[in-house]
Structure formats: structure tokens, C-alpha cells
Structure 1
Amino acid sequence: MNAPRTRVQRRPVHGVLLLDKPLGLSSNEALQKVKWLLRAEKAGHTGTLDPLATGVLPLCFGAATKFSQLHLDADKTYETTLRLGVMTRTGDAEGEVIQRQAVACTPGQVVEVLDRFTGAIVQVPPMHSALKKEGKALYEYARQGQEVERTPRTVTIHALELLDMHLHGEAPSLRLRVHCSKGTYIRTLGEDIGQALGCGAHLVELRRVATGGFALDQCVTLAHIEALPEGERCGLLQPVEALLAGHPRVTLDSDNAARFLSGMRRRGHWSDAPLVAVWGDRPRALLGTGQVRGGELIAQRLLSPEEIRQILQAHSS
């Protein structure tokens, strides 16, 4: 007879875990694994990485999920390797090869083409993506052999750095570092660069090395989390306010903090700002975010009194 399954007792966990996502796992699979390891009640991530991609994946727990959108909108930095001369159906190494071409470009042509893809560029989202059309993900159409019209979008490539280049041999390739705006499809960028070079290309490796202010050297692996005793795992979390780094701070006294948490506007000598992190001074605690307009503080995303209590209790223990 099989032993009864042990039910995991969930608990309130608040903060951000910076995961170095491994190869082969989807972002949601990685999230669910860490959520189980922390026994967390509530979790979300700040933008997906394909199973083929590795690297920085901020995972938000508890109150931090209220601010995850801020990092969906953040700039990203990737390192990627393009295999030149081979095109695949999906634009990456997981797809079947659909065309091969000789690689005849020169180093000078590579540099010129990369310059062309720096700044504002227009991309057509790939069919193998999670972008939805009429309520259905594009990859679902692609799996059924359908290609649907996609609206081109403008994205910004802030910097495109050539890290390594091999134009001869059995597997000619380019290794690139891409600093880009949200919504940039690196697979599409790779395919477009290959097309501009006249030989085609696909991604054989993709690693996110930064998103917003978070970098790879701050991340931990699943193996590291698993190796820790359960009681020490929450010590890996960054505080909720790590998602608000770089934003102006407004601090309220206890009376105004209570009114702010109830949604009331407060007046003060603050400079206008579209987003501020709002703190209470006694006790010192993050209350949420707001905007300042004409000296008036207007609430946006608020922590609940219970979330604030749990965070303070965790910090004091």
C-alpha cells in the first residue's frame, strides 16, 4: 500500500528571490518549484524566460507580487550565441532545420549589420511565442501548422555588443550581448541579423544576465536552495522594497500612514513624481507605492496591515 502523501503546510512569505533559472524548465515550473521549497502561499514571476533560456528570473512572494509589473517593464540584458547559416522553424535550437546557406560575410559586414540593429527597430513577434491573438497564444496556432498575422512592434536595442565571432569552420557563429527594452524577442533579433547577413541564423544559447537593477551575480540556483535546511531558505530573499530601488521615497508619520493605507490622499512638500515608495516611520515599514501630483500623495499599490505585520515580525525574528 502506498504511504499517504504529506500535505505541504503553506505560510506567508514576502520578498524577492533572484533565481538563476536552469536550462529546460519553463519560468512557471521554476516558480512552482521554489514556491514549494519555501512553502510560500502566494508567488509570481516578473516575465517569462523560455525553457531554452537561462539566467536572471526574479520570483516574487507575498506582498512583492503587488510590484512585479515594475520589472515586467524593465530593460533586460542578454548574452546569446547565433549559429549562422542554419535556420530553424522556431528560431532556436529546439526547432527543426528548414534551410541551410553558406556563410560568406566578412567581419566588416557583421559590424555594419549590428550597427543597423542598434536603436529603435521594428520586430514582428514570432509565431512560437506566448503573445496572444484572439485569446489564444501564438505558439498554439504554430503547433497546429497555422501562421497568423502579427502586428509589428517597435522596441529599442540600447546596446548590441559583439563578444566573439567565428565566420569559418563547421559551425560559424556570433556571440552577442544585447541590452534592450521590454518586449524584445531575441530569437527574432537573431533571425533578422542572420537574414541581413545573407546566411540566416538561429539561437543556440540564450542567457539573461540582468533585468532592471538585478544581475546574475545576485542570483542563486535551485540546487543551492535545495541544499539549505528548510529554516534557512527564506534568508535568500531580497526584501519587498528591492523592487522599488531607484524610486523616490516618501516617509509618513503614524497618523498619516494610517490614512494613506486607507486610501486617503495626503498633502506635503514633495516634488511631483509618477511613482514613489511610501514608508511609515513608526514602525519603519514599507506601506506601498503612490504618485505625487501638485504636492498631493495619491495611493497606487498598498500593502495590507496584515502583510506589514508579517514582514515586521519576520524581520524581528
Structure 2
Amino acid sequence: MSGAPRTPRQPRRALHGVLLLDKPLGWSSNDALQKVKWLLRAEKAGHTGTLDPLATGLLPLCFGAATKFSQVSLEADKRYTATLKLGQVTSTGDAEGEIVSERPVAVDQALLDAALARLTGPIEQVPPMHSALKKDGKALYEYARAGIEVERAPRQVTIHAIDILSRQADALVLDVRCSKGTYIRTLAQDLGELLGCGAHLSALRRTGSGALTVSRSITLEALQALDERARLALLQPPDALVVDWPAIRLPAEEAGRFLSGLRRRVSHADAPAVRVYGPEPQAFLGTGLVRGGELIAQRLLSPPEVQSLLNVSPGAAAPQAQEAALNP
């Protein structure tokens, strides 16, 4: 039986680095990851925190050795631009759900400022039913789709700051800086109740995760338009995820011992988290902590991974292509 010739399958390769993707609307985080993994022909990849399909913005994607540090981005504080529709409450807390109630909007600046102040700092949130949080092995959204509401324990999160970016009669755009695990849909609903008119989240964009910002990310459309060399030039090194941690540089003999997991004496103040390098400028070895003058390894690269990063410095191969991609 004859047919069209099959396209040869592209071989996968070991890549080590971080790509900052501006996730498109309507895509799941995993779908976006698999698309980029295919474009880069990467062997091992993972993302650092799910964005709902209706959300856009910063989605750090980790490849190879960088996946060892993805938890850092998961645990990091986040920043969002949240657009709220005032006067309408929906079944899901966002624009995807059905409108379940409508109320008139009569909000002055004093009421808005007071409500935002009450939602700033350590607060408790009840996770929404339409979320991936699990109960008895099932995601809450599975119960919600079956019309079942289950009891959810409140969770403490921290809202570091909420700033008003723009305001119209029935719409509010906020800049939210918060701890991990914050549900912005719940924040929108809670704010609507404090204002007395109800509200839901009509749009959400993640603009920051720890030290990473959406300003250095690339859209999926722009990434697809690049050739292979320019795509690879966009990879940042694995230590991009810990760039705001204190750094320790070890001489060659000490670097080798650190990579084997041995504790090393260092003249460094105690620190709960440090990034560690060998003598070469690009020789990122991993992360650790300093306690009582001892450097204790936590997450380590393997010697082949270190060597691979020394041979090819991600993001440095084609700076012109990188700049053009990020600033079309």
C-alpha cells in the first residue's frame, strides 16, 4: 500500500536553559510547552507554574538542567495585570462562566481605596471550585462541572501591593503583586463583594515571576517565525531562575568537591539560598545554602551539564537575533 512519504522525525537534543514565553490566549500551559519543545527539538522540558487558558503572559519554560530549578520560579512571588468587570458575578469567577447576578455599580474612590487596603497584606482565600486544586484525588473543576460544590479550607496568601492602572464606570485594571498560590479570580470576586456591586475577572496577564519579567519574553508566533539559530539564542542559562540570589565562586578544586556533594568551608555570611559557580565565568554548578561557615549543596548540575554550558553559553550565540525577536 503506497502513500505520501513520511516526514523524517527530527532528532531530539539536550538543551539547557530557560525560555521566557508570552503565553497566548486560549492555550493551556502544557500545550504551549509541548509546542516550544517541538520547535527547539528539546529532550527534556517543563514549565514553572500553570497559567489558565484565558490568561496570557509570562510562562518560563525550562529545558534540561534548568528543570532542576523550576521549583524556584514556582515558589516565587508573582505579578499580574488583572482586568475586572464590575457589577457582574459569574459562575466561574471569570469571563468564561455564566452571569449569575448583576448589581448596579456605585463606587467612589474612597470606597475603592478602603476595599483595596483590606485586601492588601496577609489574607485568607477560599480556593475557587473552578481550579486544579485536588480533593480526594479529583480536581475541583471536575466537581464543578458535575454541579457539585465541595467544602474548601481557606488558604493564607500575601498581597504585597495592588495599584490601580485604569478605571472606568464598570471596569477596573489592577497591577497585583502577590505571593505564590494567589487566586486572582478569587481576589476579583472578594473585591466585588467589598464594593457591594460584585465583580468577575475579565482578563488576566502575568507580568512577573520572581526576577523574571514579561518584557523579555517572546510570543509563540514570533518564535515560530525565527530560524533555529535565533530560537536557540533566546535561551537564557539555567541560573536565570536564581539570578537574584547571592553568588559564591569556588576555585577549580573546590568546585569539583562541591559537585560531588561535599560540604565546603567558605567565608560567606549564613544564607538560606545561594547560587554557586566554578572559576570560569559561565560555570554555574548549582545551588546551596550557607550555615555556620559551611556551603551545603542543594541542587547540583551534573559534570556533563556544566561542561555543556561552558561549551555553549545560551543566549550569547546570536544577540542581534535575540534583540530583533524581542523588539520587532
Alignment partner, residue 265 of structure 1: 263
Alignment partner, residue 43 of structure 2: 41
Matches within 5 A, 1:161-240: 161-167=163-169, 172-240=170-238
Q: Distance in 1 between matches of 2:143 and 2:4?
A: 41
SS in 2 for 1:281: coil
Alignment partner, residue 275 of structure 1: 273
Correspondence for 2:246 among 245, 248, 261: 248
TM-score by length of 2: 0.92
SS in 2 for 1:57: strand
Percent of aligned pairs with the same amino acid: 61
CA offset at residue 119 of structure 1?
Answer: 1.2
SS in 1 for 2:262: coil
The residue type paired with residue 237 of structure 2 is P
SS in 2 for 1:312: helix
Gap runs ≥5 in structure 2: 318-328
Alignment partner, residue 321 of structure 2: none
Alignment partner, residue 309 of structure 1: 307
Q: Residues 6, 96 of structure 1: CA spacing in aligned structure 2 closer, same or farther, 3 A cutoff?
A: farther
CA contact (8 A) 1:12 1:310 kept: no
SS in 2 for 1:68: helix
Q: Distance in 1 between matches of 2:280 and 2:243?
A: 21
Q: Distance in 1 between matches of 2:76 and 2:7?
A: 41
SS in 2 for 1:275: strand
CA offset at residue 5 of structure 1?
Answer: 4.2
Q: Distance in 2 between matches of 1:207 and 1:92?
A: 13
- Equivalenced residue count is 313
Q: Distance in 2 between matches of 1:226 and 1:152?
A: 42
CA offset at residue 288 of structure 1?
Answer: 0.7
Q: Distance in 1 between matches of 2:111 and 2:248?
A: 51
Gap runs ≥5 in structure 1: none
Q: Distance in 1 between matches of 2:258 and 2:163?
A: 46
Superposed CA RMSD = 1.5
Q: Distance in 1 between matches of 2:280 and 2:116?
A: 53
Alignment partner, residue 291 of structure 2: 293
Is it true that 1:147 corresponds to 2:169 in the alignment? no
Alignment partner, residue 324 of structure 2: none
Q: Distance in 2 between matches of 1:242 and 1:25?
A: 25
CA offset at residue 304 of structure 1?
Answer: 0.6
Q: Residues 206, 282 of structure 1: CA spacing in aligned structure 2 closer, same or farther, 3 A cutoff?
A: closer
Q: Distance in 2 between matches of 1:231 and 1:106?
A: 54
Is it true that 1:89 corresponds to 2:91 in the alignment? yes
The residue type paired with residue 109 of structure 1 is L
